[in-house]
Chain A
């Protein structure tokens, strides 16, 4: 016999929900003061509260990488971290990469190399690729495959994604 997991009653939930937390985030270079519930993930904050729906929810468990954003320049899964823990942080999402009409070089390369089909994983792939370039650890195609393995593409555009990252790394070096 398995006991049902504890579920706080409605009154308790109401008591919890009034304790909103005030945080300041710089999202795509815009500083914002935001009130959040403690249990709101960065992903849900972006999509549901700020309507920045470029960042995708795939698995919501850190397995697919569709929710990858840059947190203070570092790529993370936004589904597995609480917004309340990031007071003062700078977040860059796919919406923040272009400068006006000028796409980020990695975005350009995704188009040039035809590195997507359905496009659902693409925002995460792009943020992850930029994170990988910032980290500076990938040297060989094998390294790139390994260090991009946190981003799943069910259409199987991997070969062209690999080309994008390879080219971007070569551009960085030259």
Chain B
């Protein structure tokens, strides 16, 4: 790792001031992704600001019936928290599908949102990559792109967002609370991560001088009818080829509301609201689920080595909906 200056801050206001004033500065909390990238020379910050001393390690109930996750709560503490396990099992399952216990014990909730893609060209400074080095080109489009996006990619970048947790947060319509030089604001989860477009170097819509303080979960956790499925090369400790979070609000066998979000297939958790709306007031059955899956994969585009993901995504949608609706065949 290359040398850097190290500062520890005790509150968000000072954190914002420090990051605004320092050149090429980065916050560190869990550090499990940042240090990994620094060792590979993918990220070379000159100044590191330790935010673990800020009082953001809490989970508390909100007046509207929701739940607030402090930015610095670890992924393990979140997944095993009683309120999360009982009211947001979809989130708990998704978190536990990701990484390893050792990593989850260190990685924080806000850090999970800010982790970078695991595109192997992004990780290799010897190859061109528009995300790492804007304008240098994309090695994945005509390279070995088995892990890459089938939705929402651009000519500049076909990387995927690697998080499991974020797929569930997108399905739950979480909000991200941030603080910056101009005060506080909250970002709806679907607007937090970006599609690559012409600027794949920007993963999120968080400004450089803003800090995430917490994540709010709405009251409805879809705890009765949910499913998280993660398809990967080995049964544990591997990134998703295709993952899916489904939450259903049901009345009898009729669907009142559906949330369907795919992971491992795009630059951000991939949600198709048109497809979700198709299920409103429909019977929960395989025929309807197949129809929705067809709508979702209609806009998929595969590359040389990842075309299999399109059929995998289609089948995953059907299976996750069947699981969430508790239909056995």
Contacts and interface: CB of A to CB of B under 8 A. Distances in A.
A150 B106 CA distance: 13
A81 B28 CA distance: 10
Contact of A150 (B31, B40, B136, B237): B237
Interface majority SS on B: helix, strand, loop or mixed? loop
A77 B102 contact: yes
Interface string B1-41: 11111100000000000000000100010111001100111
B237 A81 contact: no
Contact of B44 (A5, A12, A19): A5
A147 B28 contact: no
Nearest to B236: A149
Interface in B36-90: 36, 39-41, 44, 46, 48, 50, 52, 76, 80
A13 B40 CA distance: 18
Interface residues of B, number: 37
A147 B235 CA distance: 11
Nearest to A86: B52
B133 interface: yes
B136 A2 contact: yes
A12 B103 contact: no
Contacts of B24: 6
Contact of A38 (B48, B101, B237): B48
A65 B102 contact: yes
The winner among A5, A12, A80, A146 for most chain B CB atoms within 10 A is A80
Interface of B: 1-6, 24, 28, 30-32, 35-36, 39-41, 44, 46, 48, 50, 52, 76, 80, 99-103, 105-106, 125, 128, 133, 136, 235-237
**A-B interface, 3 closest residue pairs, ranked by CB to CB distance from nearest:** A150-B100, A38-B6, A16-B3
